[in-house]
Amino acid sequence: MFTLQVQIIMQLQPSAIRLEISDHAVKVHEGREVSQVVDTLKQCYIIKAEIIPVWWYGDCTSRRRLFIIGIHQRLGPAAYQFKFPIPTHNAGTLIKFRNIAVPDSDVPSEYWRHDKPVRLPWKLPKATTIHKIAESGKTMGHSSLPNAVLSWEALGNSQTTYNGGARRPRLDWVINETGPIGDTRLTVPIETVRAAALPDDYLQWCQSFNNKPEFLRQCVNNGTPNRTSYAIDRQILSILLATKQAEGTASQAHAPKTQRKATRSTLLDTGCNLRLHHRDVESAVKSAKTSQYEIKVANNNTMQGAIDGELTMTVINSENQPGIPPETHITAPVTTAQGLGRELFTVDDYYR
């Protein structure tokens, strides 16, 4: 998927792109896939790439991500303006995992472990990395009983969708060089949310769709921590806004003046694998047949598709983006259904 997304980018050619992937990607196959992506994008984009420790911008884990930023060459001198933001935190100001922890009394029993990990040779905590104090094995261990035990006095481990990687002693455990660790605790759901710098009410919002902890961890840990995303995205947005302001007058002067009928919007939804439309478009659907799809919606209910077929649509360049035609005609497979909240547009088939 990492390499295939380039095909879509080169087809759509947005004004800016932000790609991110594990920093380990540069070591897989000697970084050939990363180089392939960058080299292809350089045909149209000015590219900046850097491995970013997320604690630089206030996220409290040791996670490191490779960010690839591209500004389209059609923006002229502005395409060369992007710089990764200056770090906002240092060893003295970063957020430790202790700062996001809940009290021991609020940790449910299923998150406690009662084995006896072996102490490691003592090292002083270093704020900008994890502080490993004990282990129960040399490998990562199963997510239900991670081998590594970390102190609270440094960064947290990079979170996983299975909640593995590490555990920690009680919050009231007194840090020492050789004594027993005692009971240890896994990361609880609200700490998962806080480790990504998401607001506490994200937990309740996520549970409104699916209250299983596994679903929450997938939603949180498949994304990029919030503070890091904000810092980088703000840099990109400032370039785009400045460019749009400079070109706004000229764009408006040349904007198409034609009147359009039956204009409607559809939401591009990366979590949807169908193009879903209200039933009022069925008269325009070609090769229509009874739908084979049963559609699962956010509240775990289902709705039956009405018809499947192909629909010709006109995509309007309503923002007058430079280098893009005022109108683009596409014909794509669609499914209609009764009772949709809004129409949805998938890009799944562009990746297959």
CATH number, domain of 154, equals: 3.90.120.10
Residues 85 and 232 in one domain: yes
Residues 203 and 132 in one domain: yes
Q: CA-CA distance, 203 to 192, in Å (whole number)?
A: 9
Q: CA-CA distance, 150 to 132, in Å (whole number)?
A: 4
Count of CB atoms situated within 10 Å of the CB of 220: 22
Q: CA-CA distance, 251 to 84, in Å (whole number)?
A: 29
Do 346 and 274 contact (CB within 8 A), yes or no?
Answer: yes
Residues 200 and 273 in one domain: no
Residues 203 and 263 in one domain: no
Q: CA-CA distance, 295 to 305, in Å (whole number)?
A: 7
Residues 41 and 69 in one domain: yes
Residues 46 and 195 in one domain: no
Q: CA-CA distance, 87 to 39, in Å (whole number)?
A: 27
Residues 263 and 345 in one domain: yes
**Helix/strand number for the chain, H first, E second:** 7, 16
Residues 126 and 72 in one domain: no
CATH number, domain of 47, equals: 3.40.50.150
Q: Output the tens digit of pLDDT for each of the chain's 352 residues.
A: 788 899 999 988 999 999 999 999 999 999 999 999 999 999 999 999 999 999 999 999 999 999 999 999 999 999 999 999 999 999 999 999 999 999 999 999 999 999 999 999 999 999 899 999 999 999 999 999 999 999 999 999 998 899 999 999 999 999 999 999 999 999 999 999 999 999 999 999 999 999 999 999 999 998 899 999 999 999 999 999 988 766 554 445 555 555 455 678 888 888 788 899 998 888 899 999 999 998 887 667 788 999 999 999 888 888 888 888 888 889 999 999 988 778 889 988 877 7
Assign residue 68 a region (left: φ > 0; alpha: ψ between -120 and 50; beta: otherwise). Answer: beta
Residues 261 and 322 in one domain: yes
Domain count of the fold of the chain: 3
Q: How big, in percent rounded to 5, are the helix, strand and coil portions of the chain?
A: 30, 25, 45
Nearest to 167 by CA among 93, 94, 217, 101: 101
Residue where a domain stops, chosen among 199, 218, 237: 218
Q: CA-CA distance, 79 to 5, in Å (whole number)?
A: 21
As given in the structure block, the two tokens for residue 162 are: 């299975």
Q: Which residues constitute the domain of residue 41?
A: 5-91+224-248
pTM (predicted TM-score)? 0.68
Residues 86 and 184 in one domain: no
